[in-house]
Structure 1
Amino acid sequence: MAGGFIPFLVMVLVQVGFAGMNITSKLALQTGMNPIVLVAYRQLFAFLSIAPLACWMEWKTMPKMTWSIFFQIFLCSLTGHQNAGATGNQLFYFVGLKYSTPTIGCALTNTLPAFTFILAVFFRQESVRIKTRTGQAKVIGTIVGVGGAMLLSFYHGKTIGFGQSSIHWKYADKLEDSSSSTDDKANSILGPFFLIISSVSWATWLIIQAKVSKKFPAPYTSSAYLVLLGTIQCVVIALCFDHKPSAWSLSNPMRLTASIYSGVVCSGISFCIMSWTVQKRGPLYVSVFSPLLLVIVAFFSWALLREKLYIGTAIGSFLIVFGLYSVLWGKNNEMKLEDSVEETEDMKEINDEKKDVELQLPLPLPSNGNHHT
């Protein structure tokens, strides 16, 4: 019982950790911090936390690094990984978060399985199998999930009244008052747009990473390379947009907290915990906890930041979560079917080999009862 409770507990704590990243990052952006600078600092602190672990875990077993593998890791660093961190995914996510809310950011992150399925079919890593129940579940889940993302992005509707929170964080009001405001109507479109692009970037990473994992089976080392390259890329991009020393200052406590927290907790610690859970319970077990993050962030955003929840946001989030579980259900059952087919084929090969061996064995000589001395 304890063996089943510990993976559950640590995955809940991981989602709470991610929720804290969304809240602290949003507050850091409200101080006027450039999203690109925030990503650069997150990559740097992530590298400092993952690199020692990679040396300790994989120094003796690390495969040989080739230019081909290094180039593929470089492509991974350009696209994205929400946990280990990378340029494309992180830049689009934090820019989208700046012009949106933590709740919408978490909701649109759950569109990842849908976009991954679309790209995997395009690159022939997945088959649709529309005539099967699993194929229909994946297609329906993809359509519903993307539709929910569109509804959440372009329709708000009336606010859902939950009353005022008694634990509101007044510090957030000071940051919001001091931040530069932009047009809300433009933000309601621009923020979700960048968040969707972030999920597409992450899905692209999964397609590339599938090839890297086969040629370079060292997840901690490849992640260390990934965040190091991502740090260099983000620093170069950030300096092109804003090279003033004040933009890179971490004298503000919230900027320093968000940078260290997102890099160490959400890239270093969470990556190790999720890797351990995948080994114990499999990737699907880790995936089903994603919607829990949406619930936690929605609560803390309402309680601490006084974020308003709209009908469109609630319905869109529900459709996204429904689509997520539909795709995961289809993929899980498809993998079980493939495993059973492989086991059947393996047993058939073993039986065929046994028959071949029996046919090759010499037949015993017939006994006629005569004995010669």
Structure 2
Amino acid sequence: MTLNQITYFVGLKNSTPTIACALSNLLPALTFVLAVMFKQEDAKLKTLGGLAKLIGTLIAVAGAMMLSMYHGPVVPIGESAIHLRAANNAVNDSARGTMIGPVLVIISALTWAIWFIIQAKMGNFYPAPYSSSALMLGMATVECSLFGVIMVPHKQEWSLFPSIRFVACVYGGVVCSGIGVCMMSWCIQRKGALFVSVFSPVLLVIVAVLSWVILREKLYLGTVLGSVLIVMGLYSVLWGKSKELDLHKVDTMEDIEMH
């Protein structure tokens, strides 16, 4: 958790939001590879379910990349009536970018995929996702705090003003880390690492919609096509998982009848 947070935010600082968002969506592919390596998922490419999982993962990643990297023409749907005043002060900082940024974002996605695998394995021996999440986040808090004090020893850098810093810290801690990690741990314990990771590209769809509604950003053709591919890929993976579960139930019933 500590390595994931630090590498992502430092990588974001040294790249652009578009690049960071696109590379973060390597998560389903990385998780699929690790899950197969550690035998948490069966590739079974000769079966319909296994092939659907592989194709669905690739389609979801492709959709995420298209949504992030390709704009195309503007979709003529008008503007939202909602607008935040703070959006007027938004600064385009896309000129900043070095190789270290994208590399760190990829490392962040890899550490997140490794966490999915470890969490799935731990669920077999410690089926308490809430307490395990609390212990993990507690240790990560101590580690991140120590790292932060060492790297940024100046008191003014720890200020929660202006108010947006306070809102961002509270929301990130309570919703993203607190509620989000607990929910993911609970889902991983029941459905596995790949099932949870494949939902990550949906983040791009939600961000695109909220950006149009709240910030009045334009909706591009690439956003629409990428969103469609993400939904198709997600459906393919879920369908493949359901086929494997049906096959597992049939095999279990046959074993019971034989005994």
State the TM bucket, normalised to the shorter chain. 0.7 to 0.9
CA contact (8 A) 1:110 1:320 kept: no
Aligned position for 1:139: 54
Residue 216 of structure 1, CA deviation: 2.4
Moved more, 243-252 or 87-96: 87-96
Does 2:173 match 1:263?
A: yes
Aligned position for 2:81: 166
Aligned position for 2:241: 331
**CA separation of 1:296 and 1:220: change in aligned 2, threshold 3 A:** same
**Structure number, greater radius of gyration:** 1
CA contact (8 A) 2:63 2:225 kept: yes
- What TM-score, normalized to structure 2? 0.77
The one-letter code of the counterpart of 2:56 is G
For 1:148 and 1:235, the matched residues in 2 are separated by 36
For 1:303 and 1:343, the matched residues in 2 are separated by 51
| Structure 2 residue matching 1:215: 3-state secondary structure | coil
Residue 272 of structure 1, CA deviation: 5.6
| Structure 1 residue matching 2:124: 3-state secondary structure | helix
CA contact (8 A) 1:165 1:303 kept: yes
Q: How many residues align?
A: 253
CA contact (8 A) 1:111 1:320 kept: no
Which ranges of structure 1 fall in alignment gaps of 5 or more residues? 1-85, 350-373
Residue 205 of structure 1, CA deviation: 0.9
Alignment of 1:92-171 (within 5 A): 92-94=7-9, 99-100=16-17, 105=21, 112-171=27-86
Does 2:2 match 1:90?
A: no
For 1:92 and 1:161, the matched residues in 2 are separated by 38
For 1:212 and 1:278, the matched residues in 2 are separated by 10
Aligned position for 1:238: 148
| Structure 2 residue matching 1:163: 3-state secondary structure | coil
CA contact (8 A) 1:108 1:149 kept: no
Residue 263 of structure 1, CA deviation: 1.6
**CA separation of 1:159 and 1:240: change in aligned 2, threshold 3 A:** farther
Identity of counterpart residues, as a percentage? 48
CA contact (8 A) 2:53 2:238 kept: yes
Aligned position for 2:124: 214
- What TM-score, normalized to structure 1? 0.56
The one-letter code of the counterpart of 2:86 is Y
Residue 227 of structure 1, CA deviation: 0.7
**CA separation of 1:167 and 1:97: change in aligned 2, threshold 3 A:** farther
| Structure 1 residue matching 2:83: 3-state secondary structure | coil
| Structure 2 residue matching 1:201: 3-state secondary structure | helix
Moved more, 245-254 or 210-219: 210-219
**CA separation of 1:154 and 1:246: change in aligned 2, threshold 3 A:** same
For 1:169 and 1:109, the matched residues in 2 are separated by 27
CA contact (8 A) 2:66 2:222 kept: yes
CA contact (8 A) 1:89 1:201 kept: yes
CA contact (8 A) 2:133 2:182 kept: no
Q: 2:135 aligns with which of 216, 222, 225?
A: 225
Q: 2:217 aligns with which of 300, 304, 307?
A: 307
CA contact (8 A) 1:160 1:310 kept: yes
For 1:150 and 1:190, the matched residues in 2 are separated by 20
Residue 134 of structure 1, CA deviation: 0.5
Residue 271 of structure 1, CA deviation: 5.3
**What is the root-mean-square deviation of aligned Cα atoms in Å?**
3.6
Residue 192 of structure 1, CA deviation: 7.4
CA contact (8 A) 1:89 1:198 kept: yes
Aligned position for 1:181: 93
Aligned position for 1:348: 258
Residue 137 of structure 1, CA deviation: 0.4
For 1:160 and 1:191, the matched residues in 2 are separated by 31
The one-letter code of the counterpart of 1:332 is S
The one-letter code of the counterpart of 2:133 is S
The one-letter code of the counterpart of 2:146 is V
CA contact (8 A) 2:60 2:234 kept: yes
For 1:140 and 1:308, the matched residues in 2 are separated by 30
Residue 311 of structure 1, CA deviation: 3.0
| Structure 2 residue matching 1:118: 3-state secondary structure | helix
**CA separation of 1:227 and 1:266: change in aligned 2, threshold 3 A:** same
The one-letter code of the counterpart of 2:63 is G
Residue 209 of structure 1, CA deviation: 1.7
Aligned position for 1:322: 232
